[in-house]
Structure formats: structure tokens, C-alpha cells
Chain A
Amino acid sequence: MDQRWVWILAWVFFLAGWVSTQENPSPGKRMILQIDGLSCSFCAYGLEKKLNKLEGVERLEVQLNEGKVILWLRPQSSLSREELVQKVKEAGFTLRNLKMETEGDSVAVTRHFRMQVEGIRCEACEKTMIEALSHLGCTREVQINRKHQEVSLICESGKMDAATLKQSLENIGFRVKAIEEKAMPKE
């Protein structure tokens, strides 16, 4: 009798494991949407539902703190940028940019940004800046030099561009005088 229960439990665990494996699709295309205006989960619910209804979307993940939505697409999916822009707009947000990736691909390079920024006057300013940068997924090795009004950080390639970075800092009251961007090999 005891042995039978062990077998039953083993099958239950096996099936549970199998089901959870099925939830993760085999390596395929994925799309990373950078969405502006994402500030709370309650507001993002409509966005999740709208994107989930799109044909070709297998599953998605909302990353609130990074302002991103990752869509895992079915192999035959033919989602257009226009469709995505429309759905994001209907949900009340703005699609800043999107990037197609094939899962399993490693990103070949990372980017190093160095900026001359006006307006870093206090510790609170630094904290505000770090928080804003964290929304972009660019928190890696952020260094702020208040004395020289310089900021440097590292981002993964494709996740950030100089214009986006400049815009995000200017949105919170800083003035970006210059940006230097350098590709560097990924560690």
C-alpha cells in the first residue's frame, strides 16, 4: 500500500514537471517591447490582456521595473510593428522601441555610455537618476561623478541607445550635454 502511494506521488511530480516544461516553449523568437508610461501592475493588466490576445503570441512577461514586456512568439507568428503599436496605444501606453531576438542567441557586445550631465547637485539627484536608469534596465555599473558632472554606465547591446538614454534623463530634469557610446566585448 505504501509503495503504491510512493508510485502515485512520483507520477504526480513527474507530470507536474512535464507540465511546467511544456509552459516554457522551446527556443523560438521573442520580442522585447520597451514601453513608456508603465508605472503600476493594476494599469498594466489591460496591456497584458491585449497583447496576449494577439495571434502568434505564445506567452508574455511584464517587467514593470524595467518598463518592458517580453513576448514569446510562435514560430509561424507574423506580428507587425503596427499591430503592436496599436495594441499598446489602446492599453494607454506608448511603445518606445521593440527588438526581436531568437532565444538562445547570446548578445555579442555590451555598450558603455559616458555622459556629461548638468544638474547633478545633490545626493537626492543621484538617487533620482539611478532610479530612472533602473527603469531602463541599465543599472549595471552606474557611476555618477557629481564634481565633474559625469555619468557612466554599461548596458547590454540593443537594450539601449544614446537617444533613449538622453531622453530619460532629460525627462527627470537633467540636461545631457554629451554622450559617448562605446561597444565592448561581453564578459
Chain B
Amino acid sequence: MGIFRKALWWGAMVGMHLGTMGWAHEPVFGLGPHTLYQYGLGVEFETQKIHDNWHPTMEILYGVTPNFSATLALPFQRPGKAFPPQPENLVLRGKYRFYKRDMPGASHQAALHGGVIVLPSNGAEGGNSAFPNVFMGLSVGRESRRHYGFVAVRMRWNRQGSATTPRGVLKLDAAYGIRPWLLTYRQPDPVFLVEINVVQRLTSHATAGPSGGRNRTHIFLSPALLFSYRNIMIKAGWKNPLFGGKENLPSDPTREIVLGVEIHFPPFR
């Protein structure tokens, strides 16, 4: 049971902090290169269902420059009640858009992502000396009035692997989106997305556990909807295992559902 709980916890952690990084029209499970406008403030409330548990998070986004945004993510709770009730961890992320080419009604962009997952040193779970963990990523995208296309790669390094904790997680994502109706600025704006997400959990033989002590690859197909009206966006996504993840091992990623709302506020200056 302990191992199962740990697996749930890590599944949630990996899913929440690597999986969902919402900024405007971007993949729900993948990454996108869009950054928030300078001095802009955004808040995102999101809940993700993994293994029958909902994991709500809140994210605060800030546009430091037109090409650099920072995010603070705070999970509301952990699965189970074996941990202290206060916010146990937080994630600091940054996104730097190093390439942007605008054209009428469209743009090409690329961005570097990086972040640190911070946990306290006195948690009840043990093994906390292994924190903080870090991740980095690269995303490339094309946005236009009608079509969206994104490709991203990212890697998370855990400082210490264990029976249920992979040493690292490598993710590859590709997404295509379409806006079926070209409506005006003050009309609701639905965009439909389909994503392919590849997840590889890197597990060493030395730390092998129930997952079999080998690198495990999972592929997901994830339809999603982004529905925005001016500065409010509602997002929903459903991540389905296509390959792997069906062995019912506790450490396997499984079907996930994401529901969220993102609100952008006027710039401070």
C-alpha cells in the first residue's frame, strides 16, 4: 500500500508539474512557446484526475518581459492524508521565447523552459534530501488564425531515484489545433486540439521496483478543447494511453483528465 501511495504521489507530481503548463493557446498536456504580455498577470486554476484522484493546482503567471514569463505553481493537496496539510511543495518555472517571427495573422515561435520543483526538508514521506528536482524543455510552435501546431521535448531529472521514483522523465509532445470558426474579437473562441504525448520514465536497475527496472515508454493520444472569451480561457483535455500504461502497474501513468480555467489580468504598467 505504501508503494502504491508513493506511486500515486509521483504520478501526480510528474503529471502536474511536467504535464500542464498552460499559457494561452497551447497544448493542454504538452508545452507551447507562447509567453504572457509584459507586466501581465495571469491566474490558472486547474484540476487533474489521475488514478481516480483529483489534484487541484493554482498557478500564478507573470510576464517579466514580452519574451520571458515566470510561473509559481501551488498544489492544493496531496493524495492521501499521510502528509502535512500545508502546501508541501511549490514549483517555479520560467519560459524564455528566444525566437519569434510575426506575420499577418500568424506567428512562428520557439521557447526554452526551465524550472525547479521545491519540497520542504521535513516532509513525512522521507527521502526528501533528494529535492529540489529540476526540469528543462524546448518548444516550437506555429499559430495562425485557423491552425495551430506544436512540438516539444522536455526532461525532468530527479536527484535520487527509488523503487517508485524514476531517475528522470523524458517527454515528447506534438499537437495540432484548429479553430473551426473565425469569429471576431468579442466573440467566444473555441479551439480543438489533438495531442500525441510520449513519456519515457528512466529507471535504473539499481533502483528497480515493481516497474521492472527498465526504461518504460508510454504513448498517449489526447483530445482537448480550449474555449476562450476575451481574457478567460476554459480548457479541458483527456489523455488516453495508446501504448504502454495498460499493465496496471501502480507506477504506470494512466488515463488523465484535465479541467482548468486561466484568467489574464490587465498589465500593471
Contact = CB atoms under 8 A, between A and B. Distances in A.
Nearest to A69: B185
B230 interface: yes
Interface string B19-43: 0000011000000001111111000
A102 interface: no
B156 to A, nearest CB: 27
Interface string B73-102: 000000000000000000000000000101
A37 B267 contact: no
Contacts of A93: 102
A50 B267 contact: yes
Instruction: Output the residue of B63, B185, B233 with the most chain A CB within 10 A.
Output: B185
A42 B24 contact: yes
A171 B106 CA distance: 10
Contacts of B205: none
What interface size band does chain B fall in?
35 or more
Interface string A135-171: 1100000000000000000000000000010011001
B228 interface: yes
B124 interface: no
A91 B107 CA distance: 14
Given A39-B105, A40-B24, A94-B102, A62 B231 contact: no
A43 B230 contact: no
Contacts of A96: 104
B66 interface: yes
Interface string A77-101: 0000000000001111110100000
B104 A62 contact: no
Contacts, number: 113
Contact of A92 (B66, B105, B233): B66
B106 A39 contact: yes
B189 A41 contact: yes
A46 interface: yes
Instruction: Output the residue of A34, A96, A132 with the most chain B CB within 10 A.
Output: A132
Contacts of B105: 38-39, 65, 67, 132, 135
Contacts of B185: 41, 44, 48, 61-64
Contacts of A168: 103-104
What interface size band does chain A fall in?
35 or more
Contacts of A53: 266-267
A49 interface: yes
Contact of A90 (B38, B106, B144, B183): B38
Contacts of B36: 46
B37 A92 contact: yes
A45 interface: yes
B226 to A, nearest CB: 8
Interface in B214-256: 228-231, 233
A47 interface: yes
Nearest to A96: B104
B17 interface: no
A20 to B, nearest CB: 16
Instruction: Output the residue of B102, B183, B186, B187 with the most chain A CB within 10 A.
Output: B102
Interface string B175-187: 0000100111111
Contacts of B40: 46
Contacts of B24: 40, 42-43
A131 interface: yes
A67 B184 contact: no
Interface of A: 34, 36-50, 53, 61-65, 67, 89-94, 96, 131-132, 135-136, 164, 167-168, 171
Given A42-B264, A46-B266, A65-B182, 14 more contacts: A39-B106, A40-B25, A40-B179, A42-B233, A43-B24, A44-B185, A62-B185, A64-B184, A90-B37, A92-B34, A92-B35, A92-B37, A92-B38, A168-B103
Interface of B: 24-25, 34-40, 63, 66-67, 100, 102-107, 143-146, 179, 182-187, 189, 191, 228-231, 233, 264, 266-267
